[in-house]
């Protein structure tokens, strides 16, 4: 029997749905704001350590997420997010490890890095999904690594 015909497998419906959602999630983070209404619930809650010291609870719904993504991209408009690991699917949860690369454009208070500095940083997103939309989002981004590259607080 031919090995190729015996080793083919199909993705489970849950894995296929998660992979599709993560592709759209990455598209949102890569600047495709039109996708937001399709994948973000109006009741979405964000859990994240924010640069202003907040916990992310002020970011809610579709418009809040679009604003959050826009703010995240404001330091590097060429920022490109891609999946490193995942999606990992467990019940209603989807986990993805990502990497972001781009070039700093300036404007971060206290940053010593010149505009044009290449940046790369990583993070992990946990998404809780209901009715094919993200209803809860936990962000764990390596902000220390990014701030170090931007020389924030450096003498």
In a domain, 61, yes or no: yes
pLDDT at 94: 97
In a domain, 103, yes or no: yes
Residue 96: which H helix or E strand, with range? strand 93-103
pLDDT for residue 97 is more than 90: yes
Question: Which residues form the domain of 21?
Answer: 12-149
In a domain, 155, yes or no: no
In a domain, 44, yes or no: yes
pLDDT at 6: 44
CATH number of the domain that residue 119 is part of? 3.10.450.50
Q: What are 140's strand-pairing partners?
A: 124
pLDDT for residue 30 is more than 70: yes
In a domain, 138, yes or no: yes
Distance CA 129, CA 122 (A): 22
Question: What total number of domains does the chain contain?
Answer: 1
Range among 37-51, 63-77, 123-137 with highest mean pLDDT value: 123-137
In a domain, 5, yes or no: no
pLDDT, average across residues 105-117: 92
In a domain, 26, yes or no: yes
List pLDDT tens digits, range 122-146: 999 999 999 999 999 999 999 889 9
In a domain, 57, yes or no: yes
Q: What's the pTM value of the predicted model, to 2 decimals? A: 0.86
């Amino acid at each position: 029997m031919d090995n190729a015909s015996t080793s083919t497998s199909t993705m489970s419906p849950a894995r296929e749905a998660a992979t599709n959602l993560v592709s759209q999630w990455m598209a949102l983070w890569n600047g495709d704001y039109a996708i937001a209404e399709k994948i973000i619930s109006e009741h979405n809650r964000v859990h994240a350590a924010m640069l202003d010291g907040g916990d992310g609870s002020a970011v809610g719904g579709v418009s809040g997420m679009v604003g959050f993504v826009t703010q995240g991209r404001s330091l590097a408009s060429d920022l490109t997010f891609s999946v490193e690991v995942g999606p990992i699917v467990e019940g209603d949860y989807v986990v993805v490890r990502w990497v972001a690369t781009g070039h700093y454009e300036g404007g971060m208070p206290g940053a010593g890095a010149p505009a044009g500095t290449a940046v790369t940083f990583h993070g992990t997103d946990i998404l809780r999904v209901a009715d094919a939309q993200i209803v809860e989002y936990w962000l764990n981004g390596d902000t220390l690594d990014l701030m170090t590259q931007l020389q924030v607080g450096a003498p």
